[in-house]
Chain A
Amino acid sequence: MSVRGTLRALPTLLRVGVSEAVAYRAEMLVWVLGTTMPFISMALWTAVARYEPVGRYDSHDFVRYFLATFSVRQMTGAYAAWQINYEVRQGTLAMRLLRPISPLWSYAAENLGTFPLRLLLVVPLTLFSVFTLGTRSVPGTAWGWGLFLLALVGGWLITFLANVLIGSLSLYIESSNRVMDLWFAFFLICSGYLYPVELFPPVLRGLLDWLPFRYQIGLPVELMTNAHGLTGALGLLGRQWLWVALLLGLSILSWKRGLKRFAAYGG
């Protein structure tokens, strides 16, 4: 299908995504409740920092950091890998392939469709953070906001594209859910989700800069809480978008080659 056709179909796809999110709001609530780990981390790290600050973080900074982490996780979430695995196994992927638009677009639209509903949670929480902890809970400058939004988009793209890449592996092996579990384990440790990446042992910190995980959560959170100057932020953003480009290439390649092997079981 042409680029114009795809662009024309996108608003409708997004609307469908939003309707689905609203229809299954109970399910979404369960998902959101399952992402409360930042609050556990918050309790833990404020306990650690109660008597003396850790690095440059005192207990207020930790509260700020983990509130931001919760919000960023909400806004950069994607679950396409499980969807693809399920649909390949059930054979229902065939239905999607019949449409004149790539399934990847519809996965993206469905994932993004939950965004408005998530904002209902993120905006009040961010306002709460600003009112109780001061304006440093959000970017302080115009460029800060710009780079933060850019990092947010990049973070979502990395999460989504990694999902597509791993999901497309299910076209080669029976199920790639275990690969996704592995990715998720690395994500938990390396992304800044459980603790700011600065607190990682110095030997390993350099490694984290080159892995994709911290660009999913850590970088947007750091930019939201004003952790970097302009040059530092630009350098990290550059690496983030390198990962976006790399994953974009890999996932599309793997998806297209995998589809040639696809034979709908049961469908």
Chain B
Amino acid sequence: MFRRYLRLLKVRLRASSLLAMQYQADFLLDGLISLFWMASALVPLFVVYQNAQRDIEGWSFGESLLVIGWFTLLQGILEGAINPSLQGVVEHIRKGTLDFVLLKPADAQFLVSTENFLPWRAINLVAALIIFGYGFHQIGRAPSLSGVAISLVLLGASVLLLYSLWILTVCAAFYVVKVDNLTYLFTSIFDAARWPAPVFRGVLAFVFTFVIPLAVMTTFPAEAMLGRLPWTALVWALLGSLLFAFFSRRVWLHSIGRYTSASS
């Protein structure tokens, strides 16, 4: 069972890569543009710290760079592996072709989630590593081994969280008709994750911790690298992301159960 899905995933990844390689000019251009995007994402940080010239809510320039590094990494996953499929599902629902997906002898959630990948987004991983390097250079020390290990565990939790949020967004598409801009909404909310969570107070702090747990996705791993993430936070993050995944799976099954095709 598990091996079958793994093989299926491999087939689909290959198909996406071939598709991407087919348009070589686009491939290069997309790579260049995403490099430019990443560079432009750093500008606000420089502007903020140039004007502050001190720590902001306990985060120095170098430490904030670590948050941006995690943001870049997750952005790559979001835009390379999650968003392209999201657009696909919304299109399926609108055109009524989701029926064909549902008829296939594999889990529908798996099928819609692996429909399309943009492999050139892997460039974000390289950029994230460079940003981490520069960040630690600014701080003036290297990360501890255990810190890196914990942050990798948290990476798993973050991806799970992002993915669950994505499934919930897709479920919204079952109920609202014209939603081709859901990806846009998703990306623009995720954008807040580029700043260390303590910056946000009041309502925003609550929302970004419990409703849309952006703090868990980028601030926690950065803190883990710095070796100052409390153990309780790690446990809560893992429990929370599992709970979120469970919840989104339930909502998905419920929505699929209610789904009546658009064409019939």
Contact = CB atoms under 8 A, between A and B. Distances in A.
Contacts of B177: 26
A104 interface: no
Interface in A28-53: 30-31, 33-37, 39-40, 43-45, 47-48
B240 to A, nearest CB: 22
Interface string A145-187: 0000000000000000000000000000000001001100110
Given A34-B185, A185-B40, A48 B179 contact: no
A44 B195 contact: yes
A54 B52 contact: yes
Contact of B184 (A34, A40, A178, A189): A34
A239 B184 CA distance: 32
The interface residues of chain A, by DSSP majority, are classed as helix
B44 interface: yes
Nearest to B30: A178
A195 B50 contact: no
A195 B47 contact: yes
A48 B185 contact: no
Interface string A195-223: 10001110000000000000000000000
A159 B201 CA distance: 33
* Residue of A24, A43, A45, A181 most packed against chain B (CB within 10 A): A43
B178 A24 contact: yes
B51 A189 contact: no
A188 B40 contact: yes
A235 interface: no
Interface residues of B, number: 33
A55 B182 CA distance: 38
Contact of B40 (A24, A178, A189, A200): A189
Interface in A48-76: 48, 54-55
B181 A43 contact: no
Contacts of B56: 47-48
A69 to B, nearest CB: 14
B188 A48 contact: no
Interface in B35-79: 36-37, 40, 43-44, 46-48, 50-52, 56-57
Contact of A30 (B29, B36, B46, B182): B182
B199 A47 contact: yes
Nearest to B172: A30
Nearest to B36: A185
Contacts of B36: 182, 185
Interface string B160-194: 00000000000000001111011011001101100
B136 interface: no
A189 B29 CA distance: 21
A33 B176 CA distance: 15
B48 A48 contact: yes
A194 B191 contact: no
A48 B181 contact: no
A27 B47 contact: no
Given A27-B181, A178-B29, A199-B47, A37 B52 contact: no
Contacts of A48: 48, 51-52, 56
B44 A195 contact: yes
A181 B184 CA distance: 12
B33 A37 contact: no
* Residue of A39, A47, A188, A200 most packed against chain B (CB within 10 A): A47
5 contacts: A33-B189, A43-B200, A44-B48, A48-B51, A194-B44
Interface of A: 24, 26-27, 30-31, 33-37, 39-40, 43-45, 47-48, 54-55, 178, 181-182, 185-186, 188-189, 194-195, 199-201
Interface of B: 29-30, 33, 36-37, 40, 43-44, 46-48, 50-52, 56-57, 176-179, 181-182, 184-185, 188-189, 191-192, 195, 199-201, 204
